[in-house]
Chains A and B, each alone.
Chain A
Amino acid sequence: MLRLEGVSKTFFPGTLGEVRALRSVDLELATGSWTIVIGTNGSGKSTLQSAVSGAFPVDHGRIWIDDIELTKRPEHARARWIGRVFQDPFAGSAPSLTVAENLALAERRGQRRGLRQLIRSSSRARWRDALAEIGLGLESRLDDPIGLLSGGQRQAITLVMASLTRPRLLLLDEHTAALDPRSAELVIALTRRIIERDGLTALMVTHSMSQAASLGDRLIAMHRGRPWLDVQGDAKQIWRAERLHELFSEMRREDRFDDATVGIVVPAYR
């Protein structure tokens, strides 16, 4: 279970470009739930993920996973419980290391790194199975540098890496946004399979309304640093893609109205 209590984050405080990215967010994600987060640019959806992963310290509030408080822990220490897939398909793996080495590093997530050899032959069969499941024929490329693979292939492997140790929380940050439609489809299918198979608690940010409508069991629309819409179960079913588009237009109209009133457009968020 992930729990946020009164989490706030302001970027560039006290300047003209001040952005209140998160405004006292309270949120609780049940264990085994799959939450989709949508929102306009600058709504705070990515900041929400970064606050949880520890990419920066929050200004106020506290964050827990189950009974472990994360708030003061550095990013790398939180990785013990959190698996992540980034928007950039090249960001989740080390290009000069082989596929097997990347997987082995992920398998030791959150554990001490000692002087034992990283690759043990006993693991290879397991990795081969995990890669065969993706269906891209990557099981024969265990010893290739991962940098030689395509973005879609790498993102699929990153997803396997992020879920290999069955983390208590899986963070997916627009992880198909930079992929071609075919690869995106494949990665989404794999995401669904992994989350459902392992019963992972997942928080997925997306820009795709069709993904938001069809995936997950809870939907949160972020607006101006707060959850604006938060529906789950049957209530989520009625939020089809068209209706989500309408919601977006509404949120954008409000943003424009605000900008015109205040007279400031924050370049970094437009």
Chain B
Amino acid sequence: MTVLLSTIALGLVLALVGYGVYLSFRVLQFPDLTVDGSFTLGAATAAALMLAGWDPFTATAIAALAGALAGLATALMATRLGIEGILAGILSMTALYSINLRVMGRSNLGLVGVSTIFSPADALVRRLAGGAEVMLWGQAVPSDVVAQAVTALAAVLVVAAILWWFLRTELGSALRAGGDNPRMIRALGVSHEWLVTLGLMLGNALVAAGGAAFAQLNAFADASMGIGIVVIGLASVIIGRALVGQAAALPILLASVLVGSVLFRMLVAIAIRTGLEPNDLRMITAVVVLIVLVVPGLFTRLTGSKLLSPRAKGGPRAAA
């Protein structure tokens, strides 16, 4: 039960990264590799601030802001300096490695014993349970694990609700349209460059917030913790989309990222249980993403029927 709950908590925290990646890769259709750097930036910023005595919530908010700045840097390179989007992301990611070391002052920071965003919920759970353990379905689970799952769920639901609201506003809809069809949104009077900037800032803010939460969940921040995180974020998005299909409505797509992220953590947990080592994590991630990408197409080819709903015509960048 404890393992299951901490897997869920981890999946929920990484769903924040999933939402960030969803904004850049899916909504904006911008392959943003800044994510690897901004995840660590979020973790490093929050950890450094918390060790300096800052309140964990303020520290997490500032970490998100730092992520937004990283997104801004990539966006400016891509829109103002005309650098290919993927290269702009790589440049940011590379620079961020050094910046993260500067922020932390060394290659890792421990957060054991420091009050985190999960602490208030932990205190509440302890009070309600009358001790450091909670009985769930007849099993004793440490209160901090319950607190982590509850806090992460609340945070992710709030983020999903905000995204659902935002993506239906005039600005958010323009962002979606801009990702779909840059030419069309320009013809309707919106600067595509501005949309890219906004989308990358929001996306990286979410990723950095995910990094900050991840650091607090695991009680450490490390300079290399972001390596491959973009694929983990993509895994949530892709697994989610494989579940609901290409043409699903917005709230279902948003929910699918959350479910995809948790499901992905479970797959990883199962893989590790079968004897693979935590060091194999990145490989497992890549293989899972590959399978999810390939299987629907293979299914269609072998059976002639569509596993997914029909793809929208004139799709991504057909008109760019």
By a CB distance below 8 angstroms, the chain B residues around A93 are: 181, 184, 314
A197 an interface residue at 8 Å Cβ cutoff? no
A95-B180, A96-B312 as given contacts; A109 in contact with B188, CB under 8 Å = yes
Q: Are A113 and B174 in contact (CB under 8 A)?
A: yes
Q: Are B181 and A105 in contact (CB under 8 A)?
A: no
Whose C-beta in chain B lies nearest to the C-beta of A143? B249
Q: Mark A61-99, 1 if CB is under 8 A from B, else 0.
A: 000000000000011110110001010111111111100
B309: min CB distance to chain A, Å: 9
By a CB distance below 8 angstroms, the chain A residues around B173 are: 97, 101, 104-105, 113, 118
B319 an interface residue at 8 Å Cβ cutoff? yes
A111 an interface residue at 8 Å Cβ cutoff? yes
By a CB distance below 8 angstroms, the chain A residues around B310 are: 148
A4 an interface residue at 8 Å Cβ cutoff? no
B171 an interface residue at 8 Å Cβ cutoff? yes
Q: Are B169 and A116 in contact (CB under 8 A)?
A: yes
By a CB distance below 8 angstroms, the chain B residues around A96 are: 176, 180, 247, 312, 315
When chains A and B are docked, how far (Å) is the Cα of A76 from the Cα of B311? 28
| Residues 166-212 (chain B) with a chain A CB within 8 angstroms | 166, 168-174, 176-177, 180-181, 183-192
Say which residue of A90, A114, A115, A117 sits within 8 Å of B318 (CB atoms).
Answer: A90
Q: Are A77 and B189 in contact (CB under 8 A)?
A: yes
Q: Are B313 and A106 in contact (CB under 8 A)?
A: no
By a CB distance below 8 angstroms, the chain A residues around B183 are: 86, 91
Considering only CB atoms and an 8 Å cut-off, how many residues of chain B contact the other chain?
31
By a CB distance below 8 angstroms, the chain A residues around B192 are: 76
Q: Are B315 and A94 in contact (CB under 8 A)?
A: no
A53 an interface residue at 8 Å Cβ cutoff? yes
| Residues 76-108 (chain B) with a chain A CB within 8 angstroms | none
When chains A and B are docked, how far (Å) is the Cα of A102 from the Cα of B187? 12
When chains A and B are docked, how far (Å) is the Cα of A92 from the Cα of B182? 10
Describe A's contact surface by its main secondary structure.
Answer: loop
By a CB distance below 8 angstroms, the chain A residues around B172 are: 118
Q: Are A114 and B169 in contact (CB under 8 A)?
A: yes
Say which residue of A76, A91, A92, A117 sits within 8 Å of B168 (CB atoms).
Answer: A117
By a CB distance below 8 angstroms, the chain B residues around A86 are: 183, 187, 319
Q: Are A79 and B189 in contact (CB under 8 A)?
A: yes
By a CB distance below 8 angstroms, the chain B residues around A88 are: 314, 318-319
A91-B314, A95-B312 as given contacts; A111 in contact with B189, CB under 8 Å = yes
A95-B312, A147-B313 as given contacts; A79 in contact with B169, CB under 8 Å = no
Whose C-beta in chain A lies nearest to the C-beta of B187? A84
A32 an interface residue at 8 Å Cβ cutoff? no
By a CB distance below 8 angstroms, the chain A residues around B315 are: 95-96, 147
When chains A and B are docked, how far (Å) is the Cα of A148 from the Cα of B177? 15
When chains A and B are docked, how far (Å) is the Cα of A75 from the Cα of B188? 10
By a CB distance below 8 angstroms, the chain A residues around B170 are: 105, 108, 113-118
Whose C-beta in chain A lies nearest to the C-beta of B314? A90
A95-B180, A96-B176, A113-B170 as given contacts; A53 in contact with B319, CB under 8 Å = no
A109-B189, A147-B314 as given contacts; A94 in contact with B184, CB under 8 Å = yes
What 6 new A-B contacts, CB under 8 Å, besides A76-B190, A101-B177, A108-B188?
A: A79-B190, A86-B183, A90-B318, A94-B185, A108-B189, A162-B187
8 of the cross-chain contacts (CB-CB < 8 Å) are A93-B184, A94-B185, A95-B312, A109-B188, A118-B172, A119-B168, A145-B247, A147-B247
B residues sitting closer than 8 Å to A (CB atoms) are 166, 168-174, 176-177, 180-181, 183-192, 247, 310-315, 318-319
9 nearest A-B residue pairs (beta carbon): A147-B312, A90-B314, A79-B189, A91-B319, A94-B177, A94-B180, A95-B312, A110-B189, A113-B170
